[in-house]
Amino acid sequence: MLNPIDPLLIQSVAELQRWSDGARALGRRIALVPTMGALHEGHAALLRRAYDDCEISVLSIFVNPAQFNDPQDLAKYPRTLDQDLEVARREGVDFVFLPDAPSMYHDGYRYQVTENALSRELCGAHRPGHFDGVLSVVLKLFQLVKPDRAYFGEKDYQQLELVRGMADAFFLDLEIVAVPTVREADGLAISSRNARLSPAERTRAPAFPEILRASPTAAEAEEQLAAFGFDVDYVEDRPNRRFGAVKLGDVRLIDNVRRDVGL
């Protein structure tokens, strides 16, 4: 357990910019963990890496409306600020940035970051505009915090690759650090969405990563998942990795597993 401190809460964009400029002037290495809150052990793993790697760790909590193509999904997203701040304190976070939508999108979201290839595949094919919202807000956070390193989980591997590509395309002076997926004891990838599963759905959910990992082909994985009661959005094989997205009830789950042979 890290030395618990109370992180400084920053809500103003101008205050964050002043603080970031001052920290960089002192030569402090800054780590950023961008989140939408509802923090869990997967986020805690990112925060621990950030704490270990840099002198200053920054956690951003912003439920980003631009990345929700379904207004009901946005409305259902859990807001757990008190618990999130406790996680931040436990993991040694120095600053928590808590902006609101008007300050992050003072232009009314007229200006956006769009990627025209990978963002339209896999999850992007099922969630139009989602990755435009992700990349737009992440670029804003990079510009405001000016981190030396930013931390993303491999569970959202497509997002990770898109952020890496954006950083490279725009010559951003920071390192994108990937952190392995954190899983429950039964193999289910930890996600804030898991809390919305009914007890019966939660019992069934671990079959998702198990089938992704064990099936010889993506087509067979899709068939097995459907037979097991999942509503399958997609299962696709890419070099060395298999991606999948399914629904149980009204909860959408995503995952990916390494595949070193035959892909």
Task: Print the SS3 string covering the chain.
Answer: CCCCCCCEEECCHHHHHHHHHHHHHCCCCEEEEEECCCCCHHHHHHHHHHHHHCCEEEEEECCCHHHCCCHHHHHHCCCCHHHHHHHHHHCCCCEEECCCHHHHCCCCCCCCCCCCCHHHCCHHHHCCCHHHHHHHHHHHHHHHHCCCEEEEEHHHHHHHHHHHHHHHHCCCCCEEEEECCCECCCCCECCHHHHHCCHHHHHHCCHHHHHHHHCCCHHHHHHHHHHCCCEEEEEEEECCEEEEEEEECCEEEEEEEECCCCC
CA–CA gap between residue 182 and residue 178 (Å, rounded)? 12
pTM as predicted: 0.95
Which residues, in sequence order, are bridge partners of residue 53?
Answer: none
Give the range among 67-71, 153-157, 180-184, 250-254 with minimum mean pLDDT: 67-71
43 an active-site residue? yes
| pLDDT at 167 > cutoff 60 | yes
65: which 2 tokens?
Answer: 């409306």
Distances (CA, A) of 163 to 33, 119, 143, 220, 248: 13, 10, 14, 31, 28
Class of domain 192-257: alpha beta
What pLDDT score was predicted for residue 43?
98
| pLDDT at 219 > cutoff 90 | yes
Domain with CATH 3.40.50.620 in the chain: 8-179
CA–CA gap between residue 49 and residue 47 (Å, rounded)? 5
Distances (CA, A) of 210 to 120, 189, 193, 230: 26, 11, 19, 13
What pLDDT score was predicted for residue 29?
97
Sheet with strand 149-153: strands edge to edge: 8-10, 95-97, 56-61, 30-35, 149-153, 175-179
What pLDDT score was predicted for residue 262?
44
CA–CA gap between residue 68 and residue 7 (Å, rounded)? 29
| pLDDT at 221 > cutoff 90 | yes
CA–CA gap between residue 189 and residue 171 (Å, rounded)? 32
Give 72's pLDDT tier (boundaries 50, 70, 90).
Answer: confident
Give 260's pLDDT tier (boundaries 50, 70, 90).
Answer: confident
| pLDDT at 70 > cutoff 90 | no
> What's the chain's Rg over C-alpha atoms?
19
249: which 2 tokens?
Answer: 């009830």
Q: What is the pLDDT of residues 94-110, one digit of tens each?
A: 999 999 999 999 999 99
Which is catalytic among the residues 40, 43, 126, 130?
Answer: 43
**Residue-averaged pLDDT of the chain:** 95
CATH label, 8-179, candidates 3.40.50.620, 3.40.30.10, 3.40.47.10, 2.60.40.10? 3.40.50.620
CA–CA gap between residue 235 and residue 241 (Å, rounded)? 11
What pLDDT score was predicted for residue 4?
64
Domain with CATH 3.30.1300.10 in the chain: 192-257
